[in-house]
Structures are given as C-alpha cells and as structure tokens.
Chain A
Amino acid sequence: MIEVLSTLFALLGAFFITVASIGILRMPDLFLRMSATSKASTLGSALTLIAAMIFFQDFSVTTRCLATILFLILTTPVAAHMIGRAGYLSGVRLWERTITDELAGHYDAEARRLEGAAPTPSPAEPQPEKTSETDRFSPPSGRPE
C-alpha cells in the first residue's frame, strides 16, 4: 500500500516536471516560459519529495523533505520575479499577441529605474501617490523628454 502510494506520488511529480520542461520548450515568450516552469516545477518537486517522505517513513527524512518543500515554495517565486524583472529591463521582446503590458512607459532607460518616466495619466483612474523616495530621485515636472 505504501509502495503504491509513494510510486503514485513519484509518478505525478515526474509528470509535472516533464510538463514544465515541455512548457519551457514550447512557450513563445520569456515570461510565458517563466510562468510555465516556476509553478509546474515547484509542484513536481514537492510531489517527488512527498513521495520520498511516504517511502522512507523516517523522522529525519521527513523533516528534511518538509524543509526542502518549504524552501522551494518560498524561493521559486522570488527567483522567477527577479529573472522576469531583469529580462524586462534588459529589453526582452514580448509576444506579439500579448494583450496588456502594464509596465509600458514606466521604465526610464537613462536613469535605469522603473518608476522614472511618468506615464501619460489616464483621466479615468487617478494616479497613485508617489512616495517621497521617488520624488527625491525623479521630479515629475520639468523633466526633458
């Protein structure tokens, strides 16, 4: 029974990791690839470690696997966010059928910071209040285009 259960979990984990690798090969865009791999690979590795927990049934193995699962769940979104931000700032082109790009116009290429260039404010929604740090580094008015 335990063997069947752990085999089932290991098969599911291998399946999800394989899905992540198919996603990184077939997706058309850096951000879509990242979205495919980060979630599916986290789920797959967590299922594989759960299979090891069920298989060994030892206290030390269980705590180690739980710590690894927690660490992966904490760090994989952080790493994906950092890579996505770095890729966007270094000029990776979006997919041509992308619907929204909420960061368009927000990046000041000369000052190399995201909130630098003020976008054209739309009349429907008010602009959010800028923090004092933003005001100190980039004055919103009197900036040459």
Chain B
Amino acid sequence: MFKADIAISVKGLEKSYKKLKVLKGINLTIKKGSIFALLGANGAGKTTTVKILTTLLKPDKGSVQICGLDILSQADKVRGAISLTGQYAAVDEVMTGKENLRMIGKLRHLSDVNSRADELLSRFELTDAADRRVAAYSGGMRRRLDLAMSLLGDPSVIFLDEPTTGLDPQSRIAMWKIIKELSRSGITVFLTTQYLDEADQLADQIAILNDGKIVAEGTAAELKKLLPHGHIELKFNDGKLLQAVRDLLKEYSSSQDIQNSTLSVVTDGSIKQITDILNKLEKQGIPVAEFSQKLPTLEEVFLAIIGENKEKEAI
C-alpha cells in the first residue's frame, strides 16, 4: 500500500492501566476511505484503542499515525483531521439539535456555521426536530445528531465507538445506512463493535481483538475461510431415514435434527466431497427433499478463534 493511501497506521501499540496490561502490541494498517471494524467482546481493549487513536490517552509504547500525522507530536493537527463519536451520545440535552450543531461549529471556528448545520440536519433527517430540545429526542435521533456534530469539521477519519449499542433494530439499520454513505463520500470509518453481523454488514476489513491482541484480520470472507469446516444440510421427507443416512455416510461427521428431519454433514467444502455424498444417496435411492451448503458464520469464526486463543493460554 502506498503511504498516501493509508489513513491509520498503528505499530506495536501497548497500554497498561496500573499493572493490568490492556493492549499487548497492536499493529493495524487501514486504507483511506474504507470501513474498518475492530471486533471484540467487552473488555477486549476496543475503547482503549479508540481513546489512544483519538488522542484522549497516551500509549505506553508504539506509534500511531493518522493521515500521516503523529498522535503524540502532532496531536492538535490529528484532532483537526478526526472526529470521535463515543459510546454515549455526547449531546447537550437542554439545547436544541440546531444549537448543539452551532456550538460545535463555533468551536471548530467554521465560518458558515448556520448553513452547515442546516445541511447536516436535513441529511440526518432531523430538520423537523431541529428546534426541539435534545431531551425529547429518541435514542436513534441522539445518535444521528451526535454523528452530525462529528461531521461538522469535515473530518478525514471518523471513529465510532459501538455506534449501535442500545439502539432498536430499525435505528440500527438506519445507522448502518449512514455509515455506508459516510464511507462512500470518502471518509475513513473506524468502528468498534461487539456485534458480528454489524462487522459482516459494514466492514471492508475486520480485526478481531481479544485480550489486548489482534488474533485475526481480514475481510469477512477471508475470516470465514479460516474455518475450513463448512457443512451441508440435507433435509428428508421421512425422518426415519436419518439414521440410515448417517450409517451410509459414516466417514463424515454429522449431526441430526430429528424434529426437522435434517442432517448436517461436515465437509471440507470441496466439490469432490459433496458429489461423493450425493452419489451415495442416489445409489441407495434415498430421496433428498432439500439440500443446502452452509458457509461458516462470522460468529463461528469468532468463537473458534477466541476459543483457540484461550486454549493456548491455558497451555
């Protein structure tokens, strides 16, 4: 990757709180204009990473550059290039939506505060609520206002710390749409999430953070390939056939769901194995009602990777 194409570069990042080591050497390279998801369970170190990258915390070791600017020696310039939307919607309740935007605009020393505020209010469907106090806003509206406030300074990189935690499904989908639009307009999005479907839906690149280390990194598809065991599902009209089929395919490991007369057979995903299974059934004259191939979900990958890590630690 050319240096000019890199939005965020993190090398050997370490951070401890007193004796507790939270980050144990993190390396990341994030391309300009992409959506990057840092995936991890609670306490994995996601928020600490975001705080360091947004100049709120100083790292113990390692270097971080945002758009080529060093977060320690050029902190103020970094702050000019980024925006942070934290875990809480950091909006002022007693002020109206428009007043909130105006305040941030003034703090960013923008010359056209009013027109920019109006433009963002309409973009985030808040025009009708613009003159109402934020105390009366719903959770989804607050998040949208929060994001609008973050965009006032025209940031190159935007950090979203768990942007959909606590939102209802509808607001969540609306937020996803907004995040995708941000990325389309050229902004680099760095988001943290504990939801796998969110990372799967949004991110161009995903890194799984576990216990202060990046344990896997890649696109959603690449991560799914890390689990070689895809499986196929065979559904039969007659549930009594299940046992016979299992005997027939005894070289494959399988599990049965008697209620739905469905058998899950683990394969390596190759055409050869799938053909072999179907041929065997055909020869015995066993009719298959439904056939489907299941790729591993990101959730399976996540659990498998984190599980492996735990085992290693135990040794």
Q: Do A and B bind each other?
A: no
